[in-house]
Amino acid sequence: MAAPEHPLASGISAFTTSDEIYVSELAADLTVILDVEYDGPCPGFETERVPGRSRHPVLFTRSEGDGTVVSFTLGHCRGRFDVADMGVDDLGVTDTVAWESPEFNEILRRCVDWSVHGDDWVSCPVGEQRTKEWQ
């Protein structure tokens, strides 16, 4: 966790999942909340490596105009035949690893709530109803 105190990550422990990372240039003015460490090859991407960077943001915010955008890049589902460009003709299964992670699902739920309610948003624990003052 790059910012464990951020409301989108607060109370969520570091976790492990299997997913793709975006290997691309990123804006300099990101507030990184969750990142991953990876410094290996990424075959099949236009840029196979991002030199000098081993940390890759997967959850971040960025100011845009009068608002703020949240981006959560985990959650790519890979079908059996989606990795032919990496030399694998058939994975044999549909890969939904991140979707099966309770941490992924909680962060995704918080991102949706935050996007709908804005900066005044307060996390509501899973399974609990929002009280009137939270609405």
Q: What's the pTM value of the predicted model, to 2 decimals?
A: 0.73
Write out pLDDT tens, residues 50-107.
656 677 889 999 988 888 889 998 887 777 777 777 777 877 877 777 888 899 999 9
Q: Has residue 5 been placed in a domain?
A: yes
DSSP 9-20: TTTPPP------
Residue 135 pLDDT > 50, yes or no?
no
Q: Identify whether 127 is part of a domain.
A: no
Domain tally, the chain:
1
23 burial (CB, 10 Å; 0-12 / 13-18 / 19+) is middle
Residue 111 maps to a domain: yes
**Domain around 29:** 1-121
| Euclidean distance between CA atoms 104 and 75, whole angstroms | 8
Alpha helices in the chain (DSSP H): 102-117
- Alpha carbon distance 44, 42 (integer Å): 6
